[in-house]
């Protein structure tokens, strides 16, 4: 089963590349593509998506310029929480419990849901510009950060449950970026690593393994050495290779 899936994944490299579509307007459906991660066999799900678009989740606007526009998944979670708690508040207001005002508890849910919804409504836009050597992250047109390419990376993250079973996920993160989970909770290390290296090669960004010190890192962009002070270079390296923070 695993060999068959590996061969299936390998055929990603053998399909001919589709001709470039220059300056096509980004469709609205692509903004929600990060929401569905596939619960059963997430590697096959991601491999299928990579077959359709080899620069998933980005789209190539110009040669070596990749653009990603997305909404955070807290949008639907916040909306769901808001609607559910609003229903509970209205039903609780109808009947009281022991002369206690209990509508306050779902009212908290309403406020939190509203906050999550409003904070995720602005559209996020991440642009990887290789000819310039910078990446640009903006929220609804307002620039959050623009920096060098070595600060964006793809990380294989590692989780384990109480019994010792290991779960891996692929996260695209960077400095002042929101971590984006591309593959969630898979147990097959080799397939996840293959997909991660494939995506990082296509997008030409760094790829890091789950351990902090490992021979499996692929570093394509190094931090710039601006001055000869060795301590600042060491600080830059430790910041670059520090462990990522998993999103909540």
Cβ closer to another protein: 52 or 99?
Answer: 99
Cβ closer to another protein: 105 or 166?
Answer: 105
CB of 96 to another protein, least distance (A): 9
CB of 245 to another protein, least distance (A): 8
User: What is the arrangement of strands in the sheet containing 59-62, beginning at the earlier edge strand?
Assistant: 59-62, 65-70, 124-129, 134-139, 142-148
Q: Within 13 Å of residue 9, how many CA atoms lie on the same side as its CB?
A: 24
Residue from 130, 126, 125 nearest 204 by CA: 130
Please list every residue from 58 through 117 that binds another protein, using CB under 8 A. Answer: 99-105, 108
CB of 222 to another protein, least distance (A): 25
Cβ closer to another protein: 41 or 102?
Answer: 102
Cβ closer to another protein: 58 or 155?
Answer: 155
> What string of DSSP letters covers 18-43?
PPP-TTPPPPGGGGGTTT---SSSHH
**Binding-residue total with another protein (CB under 8 A):** 9
Q: What gap in Å lies between CA 106 and CA 112, rounded to an integer? A: 10
Cβ closer to another protein: 101 or 229?
Answer: 101
CB of 86 to another protein, least distance (A): 17
CB of 62 to another protein, least distance (A): 37
Q: CA-CA distances (angstroms) from residue 41 to 121, 165, 173?
A: 30, 16, 23
Binding residues for another protein (CB under 8 A)? 99-105, 108, 245
């Amino acid at each position: 089963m695993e060999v068959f899936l590996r061969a299936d994944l390998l055929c990603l490299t053998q399909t001919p590349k589709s001709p470039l579509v220059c300056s096509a307007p980004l469709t609205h459906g692509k903004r929600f593509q990060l929401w569905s991660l596939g619960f059963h066999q997430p590697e096959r799900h991601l491999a299928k998506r990579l077959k359709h678009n080899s620069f998933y989740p980005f789209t190539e606007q110009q040669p070596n310029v990749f653009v990603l526009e997305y909404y955070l998944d807290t949008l639907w979670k916040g909306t769901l929480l808001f609607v559910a708690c609003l229903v509970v508040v209205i039903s609780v207001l109808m009947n009281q419990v022991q002369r206690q005002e209990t509508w306050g508890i779902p009212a908290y849910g309403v406020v939190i849901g509203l906050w999550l919804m409003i904070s995720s409504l602005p559209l996020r836009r991440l642009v990887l510009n290789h000819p310039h050597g910078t990446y640009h992250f903006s929220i609804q047109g307002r620039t959050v950060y623009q920096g060098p390419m070595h600060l964006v990376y793809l990380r294989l993250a590692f989780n384990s449950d109480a019994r010792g079973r290991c779960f891996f996920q692929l996260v695209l993160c960077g400095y002042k970026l929101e971590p984006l989970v591309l593959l969630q909770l898979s147990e097959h290390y080799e397939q996840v690593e293959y997909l991660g290296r494939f995506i990082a090669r296509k997008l030409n960004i760094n790829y890091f393994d789950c351990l902090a010190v490992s021979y499996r890192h692929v570093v394509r962009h190094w931090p710039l050495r601006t001055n000869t002070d060795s301590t600042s270079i060491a600080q830059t390296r430790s910041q670059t290779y520090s462990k990522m923070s998993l999103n909540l």
